[in-house]
A and B are shown apart, each in its own frame.
Chain A
């Protein structure tokens, strides 16, 4: 009854979705000893939503996959940790007029911070998730790289991980295309093969995230006025949280020229719109840097992504190491820059680091 000697043990974070299920199956095929773990995350009981990722339904589905694969499976409680690090951050961020990245924070502090810690106690050699990203080697250093499937690449939301985190991490789907993952799930006869991809925030459950915010960050859903850059009143908005910088559709006021959300004056609860030509920023600061690769130069030609699953901009980065920040200068103006969002820095396919976009642009 001894554990199989010499077999490498990996713990997979399972959600009951297609990706993490296939990830677990692939690791088994590669000969790993695989254990599935699901985290119970926080959800608002009063809004009666249930955290999408760990509703009893999802637990049953993930458990069903584990049963099909004949691997052990556990649910670990992370409700308090998730509420304190991810949900509170989400609420505070909206309360202060920024646009948060809850998945980025969850990956850093919950999936890796909290769960990776537990997997070590479980005597696992590796920790795996169903993310689409690759880990390559630069000498002995692990390097986070984009996924082979450009439509699914999730390196953005993993860019806060440390190199130490990456050392123990495996992404079995990094070289997979989504449609092949789904096909694989069907071939294996997994019960979740047809389950749709998840899109929304997990902790607002079935309710709209605006409903969630109106309870926890009421300031961000309070109606106010819309003005142009000169301060002319153009109409009313339904709460600043409902708009993202660069947004065109759904502003709700008529104009000859298309109007874009330009800025949010959170202090006065004003939504500032503008015609396209006024939009766009070439220079901005990022702070709270997480460097994933070492280099000596303080100036580099890179590409930057300023919003999850959006465009890559060619840019030059000027690193102010002593200040713990960097200035980004893009060749093309970035039209949807939002303070609080993460700017992820790429050199070819590798993530070299990331930083949060500062509130005051220079």
Chain B
């Protein structure tokens, strides 16, 4: 029987990216040759521990922190969970702080965690005001921040609409009130050099597969002195903040992937930002009743996102896939029961706009030919799907 599942032009790099060859090769020895448990006393263990600590040093250098401030996790979602739950619970028992402030356009790894803290752990939760691009309002944060707040969590670069938040300014406001601030930089780290000193954040989440590392591994930066308790308990790995035998090959892969990302950042920007802007301009010019979602310039380098009035975004993805282009949308639902994306409703879009969203995210391998052939078919597809 012939296989018909095939791949087409991939324009969904915000969902995930392929592992770089250099990353893959760096990981390989730690599967079969240097397989020791980094917690073991013997030399097998020591070898793995060396790989682990070298990875930690490497990541710390890249984001400008101390190696002891890096916690390796199973990915961005776990990092977000550990940051919010770990710090909120620690802050409550230390200072009695009982409130969580987040933006209304967080990734579910943050918003659902905050919701659980509210519903199960009795925290208060408030949403910060945002502008039409999804950027958090500085004055609103200033008004709401006080020592009662256990943690503030604000997304660095938005996965759905690409907007980049003024993290440094937000962090300064939090620090004046002595409240720790977490940022979900899972998308952003693939497109911007992260620097926790520049940005003054206390916690920052990373996930390797967004920057051409393997899936299933991430990291959390926790500034020294930030109150936090472990969420996954057990052995004393990761400064007793994250129990579980270290996934050495993946951690090595994360460090290598971040190294490559930062090394090539300038070239990457030079290539990809003009392509992004060309795509945005072409789509808006060729499709009536279309809008860019998120900020036109303060946005992730590879990220374009649109809404088209009167369209089922899910259907659009199916048709695009069958026409050779793999994209995404804010309301993606694999069982055919789409609802307009909360994020898009929260930046003030009407449901008949928010249901018709499309996210096209470029990658290191994306070419102008691919963009051009995409732009050629998109207007016709949108037109024929409109009701």
Contacts and interface: CB of A to CB of B under 8 A. Distances in A.
Contacts of B2: 28, 31, 33
B267 interface: no
B134 to A, nearest CB: 26
A59 B335 contact: yes
A118 B315 contact: yes
Give chain B's interface secondary structure class.
loop
A1 B8 contact: yes
Given A38-B336, A54-B336, A33 B318 contact: no
Contact of A34 (B4, B314, B381): B4
Interface string B4-20: 11111000000000000
A201 interface: no
B384 interface: yes
Interface in A1-53: 1, 3, 25, 28-29, 31, 33-35, 37-40
Interface in B182-216: none
Interface residues of B, number: 26
A35 B4 contact: yes
Given A77-B312, A77-B337, A118-B315, A70 B323 contact: no
A70 B336 contact: no
Contacts of B337: 40, 77, 79
Contacts of B350: none
Contacts of A33: 2, 4
Nearest to B10: A1
Contacts of B147: none
A72 B336 contact: no
Contacts of B384: 121
B285 interface: no
A71 interface: yes
A35 B335 contact: no
A308 interface: no
Interface-central residue, A3, A31, A77, by most chain B CB under 10 Å:
A77
A76 B336 contact: yes
A75 interface: yes
Contact of A76 (B4, B7, B315): B315
A195 interface: no
A69 B323 contact: no
A359 B312 CA distance: 40
A123 B8 CA distance: 14
Interface of B: 1-8, 312, 314-315, 318-319, 321-324, 333-338, 381, 384-385
8 contacts: A3-B6, A28-B4, A31-B2, A35-B322, A54-B335, A70-B4, A121-B385, A122-B323
